[in-house]
Structures are given as structure tokens and as C-alpha cells.
């Protein structure tokens, strides 16, 4: 049996925040993403895709942003916890495919580091994890540099 899941997340940019994406820190970025946790939108989108594929709800139900426990939380750890819940249902993860849309910082040069970080968190080989980076072409909130948006699709298999 195959199960597919998709996830979507968006966070605003804010000054004086660490920019973390897929568990990778970009020290050159002067601004980070705003949020209760570390605001790693890519991890959040993949977390929602995994939970969605298994029909286990969403990230907000499992890790509420009203819970002080998750203030500043490391989202790659939350992704791992969500994957553990899904794996406990007997699923294996075939692949992850994600797209990140933002103007800055430049994501493309560090895509392989991000893939490696996600693959380690999910117990996958790097060739099972795809991350693409694109820009908003000056249009919409991503194009104006106001936010970063991440989309993810995952495929689960149960034999």
C-alpha cells in the first residue's frame, strides 16, 4: 500500500533571528524566520507531509505553538519525532521532494547540505531526499522578500 502526503508552510522574515532551513544554519543571513519554534519552514512542511500521508493530523496538533515547551524548538527534532509516529504505524518512507521559495539568502549553493541534514533526521539515503530552491521573481510576498514558503511531498509504503 502506498500513501502520499503533501505539506506547505510559510514564515515571515524578521531581523535578528537565526536563519535555519532543513536544520542547516545560514550564518551570513542578517534575518531569520519568525515563529514560536526555530521557524524552520522546510522541516515544518515535510513534517506536515509525513503526518498527512499517514492521516495523523498536522504539526499544530502534535507540537502546538501555544505550548512553551516548543519555544525555540529545534524543528529537525520535531520532524524526527513526527517520523517516529508515522514509522510506528508500519510505514517506510520512499522519498521526500520539497521546494523552497525565497528571495534571500541564496539556498541553492547549500541544497546538498540541507538534503544530508534531512536524510540523517529521517534515516534515509541522500538520493531519497530532493530539495529544490526557487525565487519569487519580484512578485508576491516571497518575491518582495517578506517571507519564505516551503512545499513538500512524501511517499510512504506499507508492505
Binding site residues, Mg ion, CB under 5 A: 9, 44
Residue nearest to Mg ion (CB): 44
| CB neighbour list of residue 111: distance below 8 Å, 6 or more residues apart | 131, 132, 133
Question: 77 to each of 24, 143, 147, how far by Cα in Å?
Answer: 12, 30, 23
65 or 137, CB closer to Mg ion?
A: 65
39 or 54, CB closer to Mg ion?
A: 39
Burial environment of residue 52 by CB neighbours within 10 A (0 to 12, 13 to 18, 19 or more): buried
Please state the closest distance from residue 57 (CB atom) to Mg ion, in A. Answer: 15
47 or 117, CB closer to Mg ion?
A: 47
43 or 156, CB closer to Mg ion?
A: 43
Please state the closest distance from residue 78 (CB atom) to Mg ion, in A. Answer: 10
What span, in angstroms and rounded, lies between the C-alpha atoms of 57 and 100? 23
9 or 103, CB closer to Mg ion?
A: 9
> Are 149 and 47 a contacting pair, CB within 8 Å?
no
Please state the closest distance from residue 52 (CB atom) to Mg ion, in A. Answer: 14
Please state the closest distance from residue 1 (CB atom) to Mg ion, in A. Answer: 29
SS3 151: strand
How many CB atoms within 10 Å of residue 90? 12
Taken in order 30, 35, 41, 43, the sign of the CA dihedral is positive
Please state the closest distance from residue 25 (CB atom) to Mg ion, in A. Answer: 17
Amino acid at each position: 500500500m502506498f500513501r502520499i502526503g503533501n505539506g506547505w508552510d510559510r514564515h515571515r522574515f524578521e531581523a535578528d533571528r537565526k536563519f535555519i532551513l532543513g536544520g542547516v544554519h545560514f550564518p551570513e543571513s542578517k534575518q531569520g524566520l519568525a515563529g514560536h519554534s526555530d521557524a524552520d519552514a522546510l522541516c515544518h512542511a515535510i513534517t506536515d507531509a509525513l503526518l498527512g500521508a499517514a492521516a495523523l493530523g498536522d504539526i499544530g496538533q502534535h507540537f502546538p505553538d501555544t505550548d512553551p515547551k516548543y519555544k525555540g524548538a529545534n524543528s529537525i527534532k520535531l520532524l524526527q519525532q513526527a517520523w517516529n509516529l508515522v514509522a510506528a504505524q508500519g510505514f517506510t518512507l520512499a522519498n521526500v521532494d520539497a521546494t523552497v521559495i525565497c528571495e534571500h539568502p541564496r539556498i541553492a549553493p547549500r541544497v546538498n547540505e540541507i538534503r544530508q541534514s534531512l536524510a540523517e533526521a529521517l534515516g534515509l539515503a541522500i538520493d531519497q531526499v530532493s530539495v529544490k530552491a526557487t525565487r519569487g521573481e519580484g512578485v508576491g510576498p516571497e518575491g518582495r522578500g517578506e517571507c519564505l514558503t516551503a512545499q513538500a511531498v512524501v511517499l510512504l509504503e506499507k508492505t
